[in-house]
Amino acid sequence: MHQIIEMLFGIEPKFLLWGIIALFTFGVIMLIPFLFGVGKEKEIAKEETILRKIDELSKKIEKLEKERKREEESKPSFEELAGVKEE
């Protein structure tokens, strides 16, 4: 078995095992920050900016609706234009 591994990989099996263990531990160490939520601050900041933009847009919509209502109220109706409206 040792000879087959040496033929395939060109190194002794114990060094291959240590290399695999080292790569595994390095990978686990690199994943630890993601497991504990490093980087969630950016997501929270993005969500806050999105919510702020939604609030701004809703205020603009309300303002436009109020302006439209004022314009509709200030316009004379068809009856007033025709002079048929009863008072």
Question: pLDDT tens digits for 10-59?
Answer: 878 888 889 899 999 998 888 887 777 766 777 888 899 999 999 999 99
50/32 same-domain check: no
Of the two residues 85 and 14, the one the predictor is more confident about is: 14
Distance CA 46, CA 36 (A): 19
Q: Are 85 and 77 in contact (CB under 8 A)?
A: yes
**How many domains, the chain?**
2
What is the pLDDT at residue 86?
Answer: 59
Distance CA 20, CA 26 (A): 10
Of the two residues 68 and 8, the one the predictor is more confident about is: 68
What is the pLDDT at residue 85?
Answer: 59
Token pair in block for residue 30: 């690199």
17/55 same-domain check: no
What is the pLDDT at residue 48?
Answer: 93
57/29 same-domain check: no
15/46 same-domain check: no
45/31 same-domain check: no
Q: What range does the domain containing 87 cover? A: 39-87
Distance CA 28, CA 32 (A): 6
76/58 same-domain check: yes
66/44 same-domain check: yes
- What is the model's pTM? 0.44
